Each structure stands twice: as structure tokens, then as C-alpha cells.
Amino acid sequence: MTRLLLIIVLGLGILMACGGEPQSSPGNDPQIFAVAEPDSEDSGRCGDRERLTPQLQILFKSERIDQDVLIAFEDECGVEVAVTPYAQDEELITSWNAVRDGLDVVMIPDYLVAILSRQGRIRPLSFENIPNTVEISTRFQNLPYVANNAIALPFQWGTTGIAYNTSFVAEAPTSWAALFDLEQVCSFEVRAAMLDEERAAVGAALAYLGYAYNDVDREHHAAAGRLLQEQRPCLVGYLSPGPDLSAGELRLAQATSVDALLARDENENVRYVIPEEGSSVWLDYLAISADSDDAYTAEILINFMLDPEIAAQNADYSYAYPTSEAADALRDEYYLTLMADGGLIVDEEIWSRLSWIERDTSTSIFSDTFLSVRGRE
């Protein structure tokens, strides 16, 4: 059994978020923990082995990739996988710039795909090398982020909603009123929280007021800003709520489905709901860097990740939803039960309440609104 070649790049904060050459420093030097060796057995998931290069570099969001999946790829295909992790979506570009050698495969949040394509940082895909594209549900085809998935492929997804602890919240919330009606949210004795993400927080406020989640009307945003400011004294703060939910420190919070499922895995009293006014859905894509030295091996890795068995295994690890219906059917029964009992199954009725996040020049108003609230802290 081989082991994952893991690269952890430290000191990324010294780099600017856009462009620029990485600075050389001891903190940027990769740490190599192990090297893979080829497996003598052919799994049938490695394409043309004679065309594979010995190593790939990938940039993935922390906790969204199961290292055992990458170990399996190394064992089956004999390709070392060097991983640079990034913690938050906003750190992707900084982390990318910090990688000294040619980067191959990148996990990209939905809204950055078109931006990175326009900048020439990702390359078109050769679908003949990625036959598992047929496994991707039609629901994730032709989204506003990338036409026909020509330059990036949908890998896993999730939602934002409300997570709550039934030990403290007697009646399951159905509306954003649980977080925006002052009588309700303040009754939790400063044990409520919002996500530290402008589109999630402002979008929820707009939805509660009866406006579209992607609304850019200035008067509507002014009203949403006032609502968030009024709510602020009743909150613990803006944060990622998973650990505090599972520990019982938070009673109710705006959360992602990943936060909620992670918390529920540790605390069976945690439940999740998509409010009746609506909420958002997000998506992680896999793409190939324009600087990749071997697009073929990178495409073989992407195809491996989209294999239903592998995608199901990774989803159980990351707590996200796979984009393949076949992968959904292969998920461990434990996680399916965890989701079903915790309000985390997304059926067609819930899909009707979800909005894809739109981003263009007009949506910069979300940053202004969020800053007007956070700037008062």
C-alpha cells in the first residue's frame, strides 16, 4: 500500500490575492511525507498507463477531499499526488500563486470558474479522456457558471439553510424569521450565529424581506442592511458554526449543509432546514490549470474522482453531496440515515426553494451591504 504525497504550503498570507510571483521563503517549501509506487494490477480506471506522468500537483479545499481516495489513485495508477490545501474560497488565488511548480488539477468554487477562465488560468477539457462525465446529473449541466461544462466539471455541492439543536429549539423553524425576527432570535440568549459570507448573510436577509436572493436593488439592500444591524446584538457573531453546533454552544445558526451534517454526525440533536422563503445552493468544480505539464494525467485523475464509487466515498468523507445520482445510490447507509433523520435530503420541493448564486458587476453591492454591517463591529 502506498501513501499520499502530501504537500502543505505554509505562510500563504504573505501573497496578494491576485497575480504576482510567489515569494521564496522557508515557509513555502513543500513537505514530502511519502512516495507512491505503481500497483501491478490494472483497475481499468487509469486510462493509457504509458501516457501517465509520474506526478500531479492538485489544489483542493481543505476537508473536501478524502486522502484515501487519492491513495487509491496512487496505488491503482502509480501517479504521485501532491496536495496543496486552501481553507476558504477567498484563499484560492493566493494558494494558487504560492505553488512553485506547474499546478495540474484545481477544485474551484462555482462563482470563480468563469473569472479564472477569462483570465486564462484554466484550460478546456478533452472529454474523450473523462468518460465519467456521463455520470453527472443533468441538473448540473449548463449552469450560469460555465456553458456545457467545457472548462470545468461539477464535482460536489451543498446548500445553505438553518441548523438548530433540538435540545434548545423546541419547535423546528420553517422561516428565516427564526434568525431575523428579533423576538425569536434574541430569545436564544446570544447563542445564534450567521455565516461569515456576504452572499449567504445578505441573501438570507433579502429573502426574509420578500426579495430575491440575488436582488441588487439599492433600496432593498438598504433594508437588508438595517435588518442585519438590528439582529447583530443577538448573535454570537459571523462564523462557521459546525463545531459550536455539535458542542451545544450554539442553539441555532445559518449554516451550510456540510456544517449541519458534520455537527449532526457528532450530535444527534442537530437538525437542518431550508427556510420557506428560500436559500442558496453552491457547487465545487474540478478544472485543469493552464500551466499543467500533463493535461492527460490530470484528466485521468478527474475521471477517477467522478467514478460513482469514488465520488460516493468522497462524499461520505466531505459531507457534501455528489453530482452523480449513481454515486448517491452508493453512499454508506449510515450517512443516508444521518441525512434523512436530520432534514438534509434535498427533494424536488426543496430544490424549488433554492437559488444559484449569480455574480456580475452589479452584485458587488452585496459586498457593500455586508461591509456596512461588519464594519460596525
- Is residue 98 scored above 90 in pLDDT? no
Specify the pLDDT at position 176: 98
Give 246-270 pLDDT, tens digit per residue.
999 999 999 999 999 999 999 999 9
Amino acid at 332: D
pLDDT band for position 126 (50/70/90)? very high
- Is residue 31 scored above 90 in pLDDT? no
CA distance 377 to 375: 6
Q: Is 291 helix (H, G, I), strand (E, B) or coil?
A: coil
Rg, C-alpha atoms of the chain: 21
Which are the contacts of 48, defined by CB distance < 8 A and separation ≥ 6?
Answer: 296
- Is residue 69 scored above 80 in pLDDT? yes
One DSSP character per residue, 265-290 reads HH-TTEEEE--TT-EEEEEEEEEEBT
Is the model more confident about 148 or about 341? 341
Specify the pLDDT at position 170: 87
CA distance 184 to 360: 35
Residue with cell string 465520488? 311
Instruction: With residue 333 as reference, give the H or E element that holds it.
Output: helix 333-341
> For the chain, which domains are there?
5-157+282-331 (3.40.190.10), 159-280+335-374 (3.40.190.10)
C-beta of residue 355 within 8 angstroms of C-beta of residue 212: yes
| Dihedral (Cα; 3, 51, 290, 126), 10-degree rounding | -110
- Is residue 339 scored above 60 in pLDDT? yes
C-beta of residue 130 within 8 angstroms of C-beta of residue 230: no
Query: What average pLDDT score do residues 104-113 get?
Result: 94
| DSSP single-letter state for residue 24 | P
Lowest mean pLDDT among 94-98, 147-151, 266-270: 147-151
Specify the pLDDT at position 42: 65
Specify the pLDDT at position 27: 37
- Is residue 13 scored above 60 in pLDDT? no
pLDDT band for position 376 (50/70/90)? low
CA distance 328 to 333: 10
Specify the pLDDT at position 16: 37
Q: Is 252 helix (H, G, I), strand (E, B) or coil?
A: strand
117 Rama class: left (phi>0) / alpha (psi -120 to 50) / beta: alpha
pLDDT band for position 67 (50/70/90)? very high
Q: What's the distance, CA 28 to chain centroid?
A: 25
Specify the pLDDT at position 187: 93
Mean pLDDT across the chain: 89
Which are the contacts of 44, defined by CB distance < 8 A and separation ≥ 6?
Answer: none
89 Rama class: left (phi>0) / alpha (psi -120 to 50) / beta: alpha
Specify the pLDDT at position 100: 64
Give 301-312 pLDDT, tens digit per residue.
999 999 999 999
| DSSP single-letter state for residue 247 | T
